[in-house]
Every structure is written in structure tokens, then in C-alpha cells.
Structure 1
Amino acid sequence: MKKSWLLFSLSYCFLSVQAQFHTIAYSKSLYKVEEVAEQMETKSLPENGEADTPVSLTSMAGKQSEKMRSQWIDCYMSVSYPLKKIIVTSPYGRRKDPFTGKRSNHKGLDLRARNEEVYAMMPGEVVKVSSDKRSGNYVAIHHGDYTVSYCHLSKALVKKGAQVLPGEVVAISGNTGRSTAPHLHITAKYGKKHIDPAILLQFVKETREEALAHLVAGN
């Protein structure tokens, strides 16, 4: 599992994708992006025969620095939280069922949301857009070996087969299906096995924090 997760992390970190930037709170605020560094203009080095004067080591070092800066910006933008603010109202695992009052296994994660935009967390493909009595309106997205489903939606904004990017709006949260109040229910699977969606939220957090630290440090 750890080996697969490492490969998963490396495969997404340096994808050149677009995303939206959000202020995030995970119960307590994790961090706030006050300002996102703008990517500097990068000029191409002259091809063979085009320049009589050799490129200086200082110039090459500067261009290498710009390249790394661009890579860390891409890394930051390669992931996104599913909502503008992340507040967990019911975690993954055993809990008291709100309908029956009995202890049962909660195979997802509930986040506070009331008719809010729901974002794709990583690059992926929409594999199902449907509705049933339990999940209500829902959207399922493949991210490599992982599948993330957003449930109890008021409206889906994507269709099956669509390719999505991190930060792209895929739905509006709601209160459909077996739900007692408006919220966003997220399920996550590795292959066919359910996993705690908090693992993916932590992955997003760590990826962005690492990229931001390198951007601030200038390397």
C-alpha cells in the first residue's frame, strides 16, 4: 500500500495542470495562501549555431531556478481540496447511524457544505454520474488506481467520460438521497477497497505545503 501510494504521489506532483486557489480550513485553519507567486517569463536558450557568445553560468543557473520554480507551481496546482473550506462533520469508521441509532460502519467522510461548488481533487476521468436512494445524486471520478465519489449532490455538472483537472467544478453539494441535512459525503476506494478519504485530504495538504515551502524558499 505504501509503495503504491508513493508512486501515486510522484505521478501527480509535477503534472502541468490548471487549478483554482482556495483558502482552506480543516476544523482549524491549516494555512492560508495570501499570495501565489507569479511564474517568471522563461526565454529559450539559443540553439547550436545561433549564438557566438557562450551562455554564462549565471544565466544558466537563473534559468534552472526558473524551471524549478515553474515545477513547484505546477506541483501546487496538481491537487485541490473538494471544497473551499474543509470541516469534517462525520469521519470515516464506526459511528451511530443517524437513521437507526445503531452503531454502523461509515464508509465515507462527511464535510460541511450547503449548495457549494465541489471540485475535482486531482486529474482524472468521470466514470459515473447517477442517482440512487442511498447516495442521492452522485459523481464518481477515477484518479489512477483511486476512485473518489461525491454524494448527496443537488446537481452534477459533468458527464461520464469527461476528463477533469484539479480545482474544476464537478458538482453542487446538496441534500439528496439518504441524508438528514445538507452536506458533502465523500467515499474513496483504492482498487475495490474502501479507504479513509482523509488520506487524500492529507495528501493534498502535504503536496501544497511542500510546494509552497519551496516557492517561498526560492528553490
Structure 2
Amino acid sequence: MGLLLIGMQGAFCHAQRQVVLPLDSLVVTSGFGPRIHPVLRKGDFHRGVDLRAKQSAVKTVMAGRVSSCGYNPILGNFVCISHGKLESIYGHLSFAMVSPGEWLEAGKVIGVSGNSGRTTAAHLHFALRYQGIFLDPIQFLFAIRNSER
């Protein structure tokens, strides 16, 4: 399935790509932007979205190459995938099932959601970074969901 994505500050301008949701369901539990951090209980800027998930298969949203994966004290077990100038980031995994340098097709299971890193409960942290700048992934995720209906 192809979906034409236009906008997102030029991230997908005139690009047609096969895209899939990172989870089978899409329930946002914490949005992008300013918030009170649930663990630190002080002002914070959330550079992605948190999606409800508990031991769920996590899939790459587009084809790309694993640029990094491992453990980060904040993100926990994570995977970063390069899609050219765009990078997708998946955090708080129970474990990852991919290795740096590996090429992945859209929809490939890359790990299982979990509660690693700085969290209050199991979920998937999903972020998009375009040329080093974090973007609000909500429009991207809902465009995918709407194309699948």
C-alpha cells in the first residue's frame, strides 16, 4: 500500500512511501510538546508521543536502516531507524530484535513494547526527527491510520 504524505515540515514532501503503524492500535497517552513529566513532576518538553502498549509487537513505520539501538537511561531499550533525512525512534522496549546496520522493510517487527528506562508504566515512546529536529508525529500516525481504513 502506498500513501502520499505531504507536509510535516517537508519531511515527506512529494515522497510516496509504504507506511504502517508502529502498533496494531493507536491510543495516545501523552502528546508531543510541553508537559509536566510524569516521573520528574516538573515542566518538560516531550519530543515524541507515548502510545498505549503492553508487551505488544512494535513495527517500523517505513523501510529503513537501523542507525542505532541499545539502552539509554531515559528511553530505556530503544531502536532508531534512518529513512534518509527522517529518523524514527522507538523507546521503552522490553527488548529489541534488530541490530545496527540492518535494513528493514516497513512493518518489520523490531521489538516488544515495555517499561524500560524512565517510565511510570509500559508504553511505546515514538518520535520522528527530521534533519535533527523533532517533529510532532501525530499527523503522521493519524494519516497512516486513516489510509488503512
TM-score when normalising by structure 2: 0.88
The answer to whether 1:107 aligns with 2:107 is no
Instruction: Summarize deviations over 1:168-192 as a string: whole Å, max 9, x none.
Output: 1011011001111100001110110
Query: Pairwise mapping of residues 122-201 of structure 1 onto structure 2 (< 5 A)?
Result: 122-201=62-141
Contact preservation (8 Å) 1:79, 1:208: no
Hey, which of these two has a bigger chunk of strand by percent? 2
State which structure, 1 or 2, has the greater radius of gyration over its C-alpha atoms.
1
Instruction: Summarize deviations over 1:179-219 as a string: whole Å, max 9, x none.
Output: 1110000111011001011132133235445xxxxxxxxxx
Looking at structure 1, the residues matched to 20 and 11 of structure 2 have their Cα atoms a distance apart, in angstroms, of 20
Aligned partner letter, 2:13 = L
1:148 shift after superposition: 0.6
The answer to whether 1:6 aligns with 2:13 is yes
Looking at structure 2, the residues matched to 136 and 100 of structure 1 have their Cα atoms a distance apart, in angstroms, of 16
SS in 1 for 2:141: helix
Instruction: Summarize deviations over 1:115-168 as a string: whole Å, max 9, x none.
Output: 110001111111101112111100000112110110011110011111111111
SS in 2 for 1:95: strand
Looking at structure 1, the residues matched to 122 and 65 of structure 2 have their Cα atoms a distance apart, in angstroms, of 26
SS in 1 for 2:101: coil
Query: Pairwise mapping of residues 29-178 of structure 1 onto structure 2 (< 5 A)?
Result: 78-178=18-118
Hey, which of these two has a bigger chunk of helix by percent? 1
1:100 shift after superposition: 2.5
TM-score when normalising by structure 1: 0.61
Instruction: Summarize deviations over 1:51-105 as a string: whole Å, max 9, x none.
Output: xxxxxxxxxxxxxxxxxxxxxxxxxxx2110001010000001111112322221
Contact preservation (8 Å) 2:11, 2:130: no
**Which runs of 5 or more residues in structure 1 are unaligned?**
13-77, 210-219
Query: 2:4: which partner in 1?
Result: none
Looking at structure 1, the residues matched to 66 and 27 of structure 2 have their Cα atoms a distance apart, in angstroms, of 25
Aligned partner letter, 2:14 = L
Q: Would the alpha carbon gap of residues 146 and 199 (structure 1) be closer, same or farther in structure 2, given more than 3 Å must change?
A: farther
Contact preservation (8 Å) 1:79, 1:207: no
Aligned partner letter, 2:54 = R
SS in 2 for 1:6: coil
Looking at structure 2, the residues matched to 97 and 3 of structure 1 have their Cα atoms a distance apart, in angstroms, of 29
Query: 1:32: which partner in 2?
Result: none
Query: 1:213: which partner in 2?
Result: none
Q: Would the alpha carbon gap of residues 144 and 205 (structure 1) be closer, same or farther in structure 2, given more than 3 Å must change?
A: farther
**Which runs of 5 or more residues in structure 2 are unaligned?**
1-6
Aligned partner letter, 1:123 = A
Aligned partner letter, 2:117 = G
